[in-house]
Amino acid sequence: MPKTFADEKPEYRCPECGLLYPTEELAERCRKWCSKHKSCNLEIIQHAIKDEHDNHR
């Protein structure tokens, strides 16, 4: 799950919705919610970080 680029902090992506998080715990909470509810949870996604390397999202 970790995604790293040179000289950057690790980022963790939810495999269900593709959002990035600063911690593995948040990405896992997101994955569990997305899998169960087929939607995103506003309380979780408020912690998502912008993916500077993905121009098509």
Kindly state the percentage of the chain with pLDDT values over 90.
67
pTM more than 0.85? no
Please give the average per-residue pLDDT across 27-42, as a whole number. 96
Please give the average per-residue pLDDT across 25-50, as a whole number. 96
Domain boundaries defined on the chain: 2-45
At 57, the pLDDT band (50, 70, 90 cuts) reads very low
Confirm if 11 and 20 have CB atoms less than 8 A apart: yes
Residues 6-27: pLDDT tens digits?
Answer: 556 778 999 999 999 999 999 9
In the chain, the N- to C-terminal Cα span, in Å, equals 18
